[in-house]
Structure formats: C-alpha cells, structure tokens
Chain A
Amino acid sequence: MTMQRKKIHPYKFSLWLGLAGIIMMFAGLTSAYIVKRSQPGWQSFTLPTIFIYSTLVILVSSVTVQVALKAFRERLMSKYRLFFAITAALGLIFISMQIIGFYQFQASGKKMIGLGSNPAYSFVLAIAGLHIVHILGGLIALAIVFFKAFGRKTRNYDVVPVELIATYWHFVDILWVYLFVFFSLLH
C-alpha cells in the first residue's frame, strides 16, 4: 500500500481514460463533419447568438465547481454545498439555452431533422445534442454526490468523488468551447 502513495488514484486514472474515449467519439463525429463539408451539397450556416451566452454560462460553471472543490477541501461545507448547487443550476440553464438555440436554428429555416433537412444542420444537432447528454451525465453524478452528503449519518469527507466530478465538469466545458469554435470556424 505504501508503494501506491505517489501514484494517481485508480478512479481518477479511469476517469482520464474514459475522457480519452469521449474525445475519440467527438473526434469521430467532427472528422465526419469535416469530410462531409468538403463534399457537394454542404450548406453553410451561422449559429444563433444564444450559443455565445450559453458558452459563457458553462465557463462560469467551471469556476463555481472549482470554488466548491476548494471549499470542500477546506471543510467549508455550507459554502461547498452552495457552490455545488450553483454549478448544477448553471448546468441546467446551459442545457435549456442549448435547446432554445436548436429551436431558433430550426425556426430560421435551417432544418436539422425531417423532410428537407441538410446534413450540415443535422450535424449541429447530433454533435451538440450528444454534448448535452454528457452534461446530463455530469448533473446526475453531481446530484448523487450532493445528496449522499446529506443522507449519511456520519460525515463523509472523501474528496475523491468531488474531484472526479470537478475534472469531468471542466472537461465537458472545454469540450463545448472546442465544439463552439469548431462550428463557428468551419460552418
């Protein structure tokens, strides 16, 4: 056991590996997008401005989750809970804004699904939609850790779950920023 001291915690290591898998998934999709873009029939687009605001929201949530983690390490539990809750709320707001964005996009005549849809627009829905699913996953994990802290009789000061969530949250945040820049440059 003493040997393991300097090593990274196995769960954290697993998380990093899992993130590599997620990166491959989005790499697959964005490469498909790039290939498709170079073929005839591609229709270019600009994203509705609400996506800029949702990007800001998710960036702020990265800050709040970091504050929560720091509070947890310093055993400032009420501060930790507050900022954890804010993070979750920002996550929900982000998802709502994305969905509104999809509706605006579709309403502006850029059909993403159904008759007359163009793969260019459909890609936005598929890729950004899949990203939402990952945010949802993060929210569920957040909720589980959050309510476990209340449910226990004895206090649980194990920092690992909180660190795992923070890392994951930063990841999906950066992932969205990447996707946003990607869509904006390669429309």
Chain B
Amino acid sequence: MSNEAVIQHGTVSHEVHEHHEGHHHETFISKYVFSQDHKMIAKQFLITGMVWAVIGGLMSVLFRIQLGYPDAHLPWLEDIFGHWAKDGKIQPEFYYALGTMHGTILVFFVLTAGLSGTFANLLIPFQVGARDMASPFMNMLSYWFFVLASIVMLASLFIQTGPASGGWTVYPPLSALGDASQGSKLGMDLWLISMALFVVSQLLGGLNYVSTILNMRTKGMTMTRLPLTVWAILFTAILGILSFPVLFSGFILLLFDRHLGTSFYLSDIVLSGKILPNEGGSPILYQHLFWFLGHPEVYIIILPTMGLVSEVMSINARKPIFGYMAMIASMFAIALLAFLVWAHHMFVTGMNPFLGSVFVLLTLLIAVPSAIKVFNWLTTLWKGNIRFNPGMLFCIGFVSMFISGGLTGIFLGNSTLDIHLHDTYFVIAHFHIVMGVSAFMGMFAGIYHWFPKMYGRYMNNTLGYIHFWVTLVCAYVIFWPMHYEGFAGMPRRYYDYSNWESFKQFVELNKVISFAAILSFLVQLMFIFNFIYSIFKGRRVTSKNPWGATTLEWTTPIRPGHGNWPGEIPEVHRWAYDYGKDGMDFIDQTTPVGKDESKH
C-alpha cells in the first residue's frame, strides 16, 4: 500500500519535469558546473580524468628520466622543481613521491573514476532507456566528492614535506610512522583523506549505477537484452560497493595508528636506533585488508573496458558478439573469483604453504573465464566485415595486450615462481600490460566511438591512426623488456640500478624504455589535442546513427537535451546485437521482431 503512494509520487514529479523541458532556463552554473544531467556529468568525469592522466603521465616521464639516465644533470629540472631536483638531478625523495603518486593517480583517479565515471554515466541511462540516473542528485554528489578528493590529493603535491611516497599500496609500518620518511608525514594524511573522499564518491556512484540498471530499464529491456557495456558496468559497480568499504576500514585503522598511538599494524620496530613502544600489531593485517580491495580493484578497472570493447568490436565487425551469454557468465565468474584471490599478492609474507596453494588454485582459475572472453572476441572478429577505424583498432589492441598480460599473470599466480618474481620488474610489466595499457586502449576505443554522441562531432581519424600505432608499439617497447629485467631479479621501486653489477647489462635497455615512454606520452598529448580540437572544429555528425549501431543511445537526437528523448522513451523488442541478420546490415533494438525473422 505504501509502495503505491510512492510510485504515484514519482510519476507526478516526472511528468511535471517533462512538461517543463521546453521552457526551463538553465544557468551556466546549473548546466556546466553543478549539473545533474548524466551526459554532462560523464563529460566532467572524462575531462577531470584527462587532466589527471596528464599529471600522472608526466610523473612517469620524470622518473623514467631518472631510470634511463641516472647520471644526467638537467638544470631545467632544478628550475622547475627546486630542491626536489637539486643539481638538476631528481632526488630520491622526489623519485619515490613520483612513483607513488603516479600509481595512485593512474589506478584510482584515471582508470577508476575517470573511466567508470565517464562511461557509466554516459551509457547507463542511454542504453537502458532512462531519462537519467535513479538519483541525479547523488550522481552529482559523486562527481563533486571526486573533485574534493582531487583537490586534496593535488594539494599534497605542494606541501613542504611532499606527497605520500611509500608506494601506491601505502604499506605500514612505513606509512604508519610519521618519522619514518618525509612522505610519511602530512602528505600521507592528505593521501588518506583524499582516498576516503574518493571512496565516498565511488560508493555514491556505484549505488546509483546498480539501482538505475536494475530499476529504470525501459519497456521490453529485459536483462538479457542489455548491451554488454551495461552488464560490465553492473558487475564493476557491485565489486566497488563490496570492496571499497573494506579498504576504508583498513585506512581507518591506519589513521588510528598514525594519530592515536594504537598498534594495529605495528610491533617490534626500531626507528633511527630507537625502539618504539608499539606491541602486538601486524603489518600483514593491512595487506589483507588492502588487497581484499586491491584485487577486485584491478577488475573494477578492466571490466568496464571489456564491456566497451565487446560493444565497439561487434559494431565494427558488423557481426553479433560471439557468445553473449558466455560473456556475461565469464564476467560473473571473474567478479566472483576477484574476491577469492587477494592473497596472491602476499605469497612472500610467510603464509602457510597450504593456504598459499589454495590461493594458487583460485588464482589460476581466473584464467578460464579470461580465456573464454578472449576466445569470444577473436571469434567475433573472425570473418567479420571489419571497419578498421580508430575505435576498432584500439579494441584489437586491447585484446592483444590482454592476452600478453594475462599470460604473465599465470606465471605470477604460481607461488613457487612468484617467490622469485615478486617485487621485480616482471610484476611491473605484468600489470602495466594487462591493466594499464589494456584499460587505456579500451577507454580510447570508447572515446573514439562515443565522441559523436557526446559532442555531435567526430574526432580526426588520421590523428587517431597515429595515436593507435605509436601507442601500441611504444607499449610493447616499454613493457616487454621489463619481463627480462624481472627474470634477472631487478627489483621494482629502486632509485638507481646502475650501481649493481648484475643490472649493468640493462643500462642501454633502460634508455630505450625511457625514450619510448617519453614518445608515448607525447602521442597522448596529441590525442588530447585531437579531442579538444574536435569538440570545436571536428567534422559534424549529420545522422542520428553514424556507426549503424543497434543500441538506444543512437535513437536520441544528435545533440540530446535533458531527458534524452524528446517524446516517449522507445520500447525495446530485441537484443543489442542483430548485425548481419537475414541479410540486413543491422536491425536496431526498437524494431519489432518480424513474423518470419530467424532466431539468433
């Protein structure tokens, strides 16, 4: 009974809202700043993410200068960074700060908030057929919490003792003791505050994504008619809701240790010759709490791009995605297993070998659904009528990267091998290829593909091709050799490797890697130029459905207003992948099923 009253209330407010559409004035602030329109929020996330990507990318260029040219003295560095780059040489504290911030920014601010924030906001209402998110206000809050988190993190770059420097995983005791390093002082507190705000932003966003997908679908849009993008975002959001709070609790205990003199993570520590009074804690506890989020987090990054790639690939191969249900099932399996494998990051913490072997088994199991997905992408391409536009090239690049990086995951997942490879450049190579580069490629595929929907114009294709090929080649030149460095035992997170006899063999190689890193950074700047230029000067989109796609977002006007569809929300009659069916190029989701149409 009470429920009915609610719904009536909802309907009334909705109609009033639609009624007002024509003559309702929006100010600059309500349209571009505190917007509650999912399309604008998507753009805000994207552009904020791009700003962060440039900052985080620049950091990697700086530390690659140190790694490639440890003996160089570059006076301009000192001009810009002052005592952080005394004598034109990146100082050790600076190096650690750069590495830590690079990881934090790219993992959380770019590939989590920037990626999910953009495509969940853009695609969920469009593709499920809703006028907006379940709660547009919460959605706006989610973005502004992200901005707050960003401001705090940015501020930490400019304080005297510098930002957090203990690695993106901020392991205690280093992160728990202010006296342990420069970066463990105020910078670490700001890091924790920023991340707490970030978690709030993720939860607000995630709640909204899930409840919109499950509750706001248009008529006829059953779950198994949803495009895979939406499925992927659904799993991503659920992973986030269930794992970020655990990270949060780990952070709370860390804050207690930092400021209230507790010993959750601390015991038997000698700091600068002084024995600390802390007793009874264990730093391993933090690692459990961190990786319980940390592992699902890597899938929070990759799952949305798996969705984007499936969608863009099917459209540009002019073929239905191969194994739609298998794709959903494998995403479900990945999401489930993501919670059961975290200890593979901790094989060398002295865990019970039997427990270790359980985690080996569960970890290697992830290879099964991953392989199913790869198989399905390849079979989708097979005998397709492929359009090699930049979006499609990035899809193929994604699959290539995902295979290369997934295979090295199987090396690491065996605890016996991992004892040798842990904390070496092999791990760096593994996760940059499988997560960093793959996710960026998936994201680029999405941006090139949905740019016309976002801005009513196309991005420049020629620049797109250059962007793709340079990125692909550089990515392999940067990360492939790192596997060999890792086999040779070269540890990650060292400031200068040139003093070790065993790593002298890599001096020239490290120069090559650094060169490729700088080149790939420059080509990303070119992409950003293309992006901004195309917003204003790109070729205009002249038809509603430029790619010949089946999904609902292409039934909206070229530049959709508030509420997306001017009239009724269309009804859906079929799944999202009717390409090349019965001799037709494509049949969109709103077309009723004909009498003598074949089954798929």
Contact = CB atoms under 8 A, between A and B. Distances in A.
Nearest to B238: A17
Most chain A CB atoms below 10 A, which of B207, B243, B288: B207
Contacts of A151: none
Nearest to B219: A3
B171 to A, nearest CB: 15
A17 B6 contact: no
A114 B257 CA distance: 9
Contact of A14 (B10, B135, B252, B285): B135
Given A7-B215, A28-B245, A14 B6 contact: no
A45 interface: no
Contact of A13 (B214, B241, B280): B214
A15 B253 CA distance: 26
B518 to A, nearest CB: 41
B5 A32 contact: no
A10 interface: yes
Task: Describe A's contact surface by its main secondary structure.
Answer: helix
A86 B421 CA distance: 61
Interface string A20-43: 111011111100100110010111
B375 interface: no
Interface stretch (B146-154, B258-266, B327-335, B505-513): B258-266
Given A113-B256, A160-B9, A24 B245 contact: yes
B21 interface: no
B14 interface: yes
Interface stretch (A59-67, A87-95, A115-123): A115-123
A28 B4 contact: no
A170 interface: no
B260 A113 contact: yes
B219 A13 contact: no
Contacts, number: 139
Contacts of A120: 280
B260 A8 contact: no
A120 B243 CA distance: 24
B208 interface: yes
A185 interface: no
Contact of A119 (B10, B134, B207, B262): B262
A21 B263 contact: no
A122 B265 CA distance: 11
Interface residues of A, number: 49
A112 interface: yes
A28 B246 contact: yes
Most chain B CB atoms below 10 A, which of A1, A26, A130: A1
A36 B206 CA distance: 31
A175 to B, nearest CB: 13
A28 B292 contact: yes
B241 A21 contact: yes
B267 interface: yes
A126 B257 CA distance: 11
Contacts of B279: 41, 118
A148 interface: no
A3 B220 CA distance: 10
A24 B246 contact: yes
A5 interface: yes
A85 to B, nearest CB: 22
Contacts of A126: 252-253, 256, 262, 264
B289 interface: yes
B304 interface: no
B575 to A, nearest CB: 19
Interface string A123-148: 10110001000000000000000000
A25 B245 contact: yes
Most chain B CB atoms below 10 A, which of A32, A123, A158: A32
Given A21-B241, A112-B262, A116-B277, A32 B288 contact: yes
Interface in B214-268: 214-216, 219, 241-246, 248-250, 252-253, 256, 260-264, 267
Interface string B260-302: 1111100100000000010111100100110010000000000
A120 B280 CA distance: 9
A114 B259 CA distance: 9
Contacts of B249: 25-26, 28-29, 32, 130
A113 B278 CA distance: 11
A10 B241 CA distance: 16
A4 interface: yes
A123 B245 CA distance: 17
A157 B12 CA distance: 14
A164 B71 CA distance: 63
Interface string B416-447: 00000000000000000000000000000000
B263 A119 contact: yes
A155 B2 CA distance: 17
B245 to A, nearest CB: 4
Contacts of B253: 29, 32, 126
B211 A14 contact: yes
Given A10-B212, A18-B207, A21-B245, A118 B280 contact: yes
A25 B247 CA distance: 8
A64 to B, nearest CB: 19
Given A21-B241, A119-B264, A39 B211 contact: no
B51 to A, nearest CB: 28
A126 B4 CA distance: 41
B7 interface: yes
Given A14-B211, A32-B285, A22 B245 contact: yes
Nearest to B253: A126
B341 interface: no
Interface string A157-169: 1111001000000
A11 B134 contact: yes
A104 B249 CA distance: 25
A28 B289 contact: yes
B11 interface: yes
Contacts of B190: none
Nearest to B247: A28
A42 B280 contact: yes
A32 B7 CA distance: 42
State the 3 A-B residue pairs at the shortest beta-carbon distance, nearest first. Answer: A25-B245, A28-B246, A41-B280
28 contacts: A1-B7, A1-B10, A5-B4, A9-B6, A9-B7, A10-B135, A10-B211, A13-B134, A13-B211, A14-B207, A18-B207, A21-B203, A22-B245, A25-B249, A32-B249, A32-B253, A32-B264, A113-B256, A113-B262, A114-B261, A117-B261, A117-B262, A118-B279, A122-B256, A126-B262, A157-B5, A158-B5, A160-B6
Given A1-B11, A122-B263, 11 more contacts: A14-B135, A20-B241, A21-B203, A22-B245, A24-B245, A25-B249, A29-B249, A32-B288, A116-B277, A118-B263, A157-B5
Interface of A: 1, 3-5, 7-11, 13-14, 17-18, 20-22, 24-29, 32, 35-36, 39, 41-43, 73, 112-120, 122-123, 125-126, 130, 157-160, 163
